Amino acid sequence: MIIDVHGHFTTTPPQVADFRKQQVAEFKRSGQVLRDPPPVSDAEIRTALEANQLRIMNERGIDLTLFSPRAIGMDHHEGNEATNMVWARYCNDLIDRACKMYPDRFVGVCQLPQAPGVKPGKAVMEELERCVKTLGFIGANLNPDPTGGHWADPPLSDKDWWYPLFEKFVELDVPAMIHVSGSCNPHFNAVATHYINGDTTAFVQFLTSDIFKDFPTLKFIIPHGGGAVPYHWGRYRGIALDMGLPPLEEKVLSNVFFDTCVYHQAGIDLLLKVVPQGNILFASETVGAVQGIDPLSGHYFDDTRRYIEASSAANESMRRRIYEENTLGVYPRLRVHPRFCGG
């Protein structure tokens, strides 16, 4: 089986994004929260998925996608916690409906109602618990920078700010994918720069903190191939030694995993050669930030399975681990999904 751990509902009907625009505009105008999102029909969801994500999954031989709301659309830097709670619940409910319509093809991962300057608390915990316990989701997307590129909130190592949420992840036995959202900093294009910044920054915060000493079973997925990390593996190994830390492999690799959203052959080859095979999870982020055809290869940039199949760095055993086995190890709740336990 081939499991894509990084899929987003980027093709929602237009009224979904329109509602968020109206929500943000109303909040900026009056400080009030729009609480009544527009309806989306089952037919609209089917059309959105069958013409896009499901079609591409079928064409590329992807069996199952871990499916979450549109990442750049999480939009945490806009509004406040109350606004973002309404928005997150709306988006998560659409994911739930998609998963129930296609239970053999999608499994839910949730958006959290984070907000800039607001420590994750009751609203975040309750939505996470609702999604996992009531909707059957198996993970969450965690934004390490809800300020949208300004990095004004405490780092992930801040015990007062983040540790209660980490405790909830452990209690629910769900991993989190590190995923920033939009950027309101003009220096950082959201998908070209901010995403990679977020991935790399989170890894360094994991490396230089005691998070996994304090939470030895907590697991994170760093998307987009780990940002700059595999390319600078030697730098981070050396920094760990210079700081008197345990070796990088010992410090983080029982808890941190990297996906394969890397959109060229040489990049995938590097990832597979540098990162231990037990720490790599297959992903494509389709339909996502890069949707075109590479004129050099004649194939879609985001057809990441093609790169893994072509890589001399991978044998069949390694591919099985990347496509399925590693993911089942990282996502405990996926192992009891009907697709895997015969329910």
Q: Mind telling me the catalytic residues? A: 285
Pair 41, 147: CB distance under 8 Å: no
- Please provide residue 59's backbone torsions phi and psi, each rounded to the nearest 5 degrees: -65, -35
Radius of gyration in angstroms for the set of CA atoms belonging to the chain, rounded to a whole number: 19
- Return the closest-CA partner of residue 70 out of 134, 138, 143: 143
Unique residue bearing structure tokens 């968020």: 20
Pair 271, 226: CB distance under 8 Å: yes
- Return the closest-CA partner of residue 1 out of 282, 308, 333, 288: 282
Is the bond leading into 287 cis (omega within 30 degrees of zero)?
yes
Question: Which residues are paired to 66 by β-bridges?
Answer: 107
Q: DSSP character for 300?
A: B
Unique residue bearing structure tokens 């499916």: 67
- Please provide residue 141's backbone torsions phi and psi, each rounded to the nearest 5 degrees: -95, 130
Question: Which residues are paired to 65 by β-bridges?
Answer: 4, 106
- Return the closest-CA partner of residue 229 out of 221, 126, 110: 221
- Return the closest-CA partner of residue 162 out of 104, 111, 205, 216: 205
Pair 60, 168: CB distance under 8 Å: no
**Relative orientation angle of helices 122-129 and 159-172, to the nearest 10 degrees:** 10
* Angle (CA) 89 42 91, round 5°: 15
Structure tokens at 21: 């625009």
> Backbone dihedral region of 200: left (phi > 0), alpha (psi from -120 to 50 degrees) or beta?
alpha
